[in-house]
């Protein structure tokens, strides 16, 4: 014990010297990769920009630039995966609007945190109390609550995505009928706002409810074009966005809205037909799975089993 205590300070000193040497070696390694555009332009605008002068100022040596170049691609990939699975605030806000939820991003994050905490507790309870997981290695049992928390947060985000996709599918199904109704109202002599008010009052569905919000916004003093643009950005539905862009362009230029909406309704009908044909093609391929892996083996077994029994009896 005395020898260990005597060697311990020497080891600390040697470790510090080794770390300092490695730091100096790494700091002398030239930076990998091509310089960024801002770094190439900085020498030419140094007399005009204080940021360029600060960028060109001599910096203390350190391995941070090298480590940053090495770790940056991995960090960007991890950030992209996290944004895709969990979503950033803008993505979450768009999904909440598309799903028809009135909750804020902060409330959704709180729900996501609650789901993650619940999954963490369940994973910890299974890792501690369940006899099935007692034979697992310690590192696996320690990782179970963390994995459970990540799965809980991802599950809550997946449910939101699923709800948004289903609502957008209902919007796609309602869009041709709504556009044709708008065309009939405009042809009958009503204005755009009156036609939207009629749809909001007579229809039941996702688009009539969205148009009801547009009518309410216009009633509070918001211009019609701005309310329609907010609806377009809020839902971010491709077909609806094209139709609303055409309506906004017609309102700005004074073009006849009935002809524009009639053409948009026809395009929506054609897109719905293409979607149905594509869905039928995918379902046709999916129907082959039970046919090949369930029905066909049973049929072959019924056809071959009698002959197998006859061969076994020695006929």
153: nearest Cα among 161, 163, 164? 161
175, 239 Cβ separation under 8 angstroms: yes
- Based on its alpha-carbon atoms, the radius of gyration of the chain, rounded to whole angstroms, reads 32
pLDDT digits (tens, 9 = 90+) for 16-68: 788 777 876 776 665 555 667 777 788 888 777 777 777 777 554 444 455 55
- From the number of C-beta atoms within 10 Å of its C-beta (0-12, 13-18, 19+), residue 93 rates as middle
CA pair distance 1, 26, nearest whole angstrom: 37
Would you identify the CATH topology of the domain 175-276? Receptor-associated Protein (1.20.81)
CA pair distance 157, 154, nearest whole angstrom: 5
Average pLDDT over residues 194-221: 88
Tokens read off for 107? 């409330």
169, 97 Cβ separation under 8 angstroms: no
240: nearest Cα among 215, 216, 222, 264? 264
Average pLDDT over residues 189-196: 86
Is the model's pLDDT at 94 over the cut of 70? yes
Looking at residue 4, what is its pLDDT? Answer: 45
Average pLDDT over residues 170-186: 87
CA pair distance 240, 25, nearest whole angstrom: 59
Is the model's pLDDT at 139 over the cut of 60? yes
For the CA atoms of 248, 250, 251, 252, the dihedral, rounded to the nearest 10 degrees, stands at 90
**C-alpha distances out from residue 157 to 125, 144, 170, 284, Å:** 24, 20, 20, 30
Q: How confident is the model at residue 132 (pLDDT cuts 50, 70, 90)?
A: confident
Is the model's pLDDT at 83 over the cut of 70? no
CA pair distance 106, 93, nearest whole angstrom: 10
More confident residue, 11 or 196: 196
Is the model's pLDDT at 12 over the cut of 90? no
116: nearest Cα among 152, 87, 157? 152
Average pLDDT over residues 267-285: 83
Average pLDDT over residues 91-113: 89
Conformational region of residue 35, where left means phi above 0, alpha means psi within -120 to 50, and beta covers everything else? beta
Residue ranges of domains in the chain: 89-167, 175-276
Average pLDDT over residues 205-220: 90
214, 182 Cβ separation under 8 angstroms: no
Is the model's pLDDT at 194 over the cut of 50? yes
Looking at residue 160, what is its pLDDT? Answer: 92
Q: How many beta carbons lie within 10 A of that of residue 185, not counting itself?
A: 22
Average pLDDT score over the chain: 80
Is the model's pLDDT at 163 over the cut of 90? yes
CA pair distance 180, 188, nearest whole angstrom: 12
Q: How confident is the model at residue 6 (pLDDT cuts 50, 70, 90)?
A: very low
Looking at residue 2, what is its pLDDT? Answer: 44
Tokens read off for 4? 């260990």
Q: How confident is the model at residue 118 (pLDDT cuts 50, 70, 90)?
A: very high
**C-alpha distances out from residue 209 to 153, 198, 270, 314, Å:** 30, 12, 24, 75
Q: How confident is the model at residue 315 (pLDDT cuts 50, 70, 90)?
A: low
Is the model's pLDDT at 300 over the cut of 80? yes
62: nearest Cα among 22, 15, 16, 35? 22
110, 96 Cβ separation under 8 angstroms: no
Conformational region of residue 100, where left means phi above 0, alpha means psi within -120 to 50, and beta covers everything else? left
Average pLDDT over residues 219-229: 90
| Cβ contacts of 106 within 8 Å, gap of 6 or more | none
Q: What is the pTM of this model?
A: 0.62
């Amino acid at each position: 014990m005395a020898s260990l205590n005597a060697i311990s300070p020497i080891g600390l000193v040697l470790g510090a010297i080794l770390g300092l040497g490695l730091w100096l070696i790494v700091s002398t390694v030239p930076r990998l990769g091509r310089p960024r555009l801002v770094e190439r332009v900085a020498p030419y605008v140094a007399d005009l920009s204080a940021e360029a002068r600060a960028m060109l100022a001599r910096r203390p040596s350190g391995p941070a630039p090298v480590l940053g170049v090495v770790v940056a691609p991995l960090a960007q990939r991890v950030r992209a995966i996290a944004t895709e699975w969990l979503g950033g605030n803008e993505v979450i806000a768009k999904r909440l609007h598309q799903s028809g939820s009135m909750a804020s991003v902060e409330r959704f994050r709180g729900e996501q945190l609650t789901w993650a905490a619940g999954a963490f507790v369940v994973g910890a309870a299974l890792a501690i109390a369940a006899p099935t997981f007692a034979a697992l290695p310690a590192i696996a049992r320690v990782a179970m609550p963390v994995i459970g928390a990540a799965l809980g947060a991802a599950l809550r985000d997946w449910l939101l995505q699923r709800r948004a996709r289903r609502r957008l599918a209902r919007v796609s199904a309602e869009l041709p009928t709504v556009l044709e109704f708008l065309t009939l109202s405009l042809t009958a002599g009503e204005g755009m706002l009156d036609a939207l008010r009629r749809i909001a009052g007579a229809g039941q569905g996702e688009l009539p409810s969205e148009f009801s919000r547009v009518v309410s916004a216009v009633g509070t003093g918001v211009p019609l074009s701005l309310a329609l643009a907010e609806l377009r950005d809020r839902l971010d539905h491709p077909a609806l966005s094209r139709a609303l862009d055409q309506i906004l362009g017609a309102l700005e230029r004074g073009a006849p809205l009935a002809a524009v909406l009639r053409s948009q309704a026809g395009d929506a009908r054609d897109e719905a037909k293409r979607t149905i044909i594509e869905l039928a093609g995918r379902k046709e391929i999916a129907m082959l799975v039970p046919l090949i892996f369930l029905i066909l083996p049973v049929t072959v077994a019924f056809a071959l089993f009698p002959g197998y029994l006859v061969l076994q009896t020695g006929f």
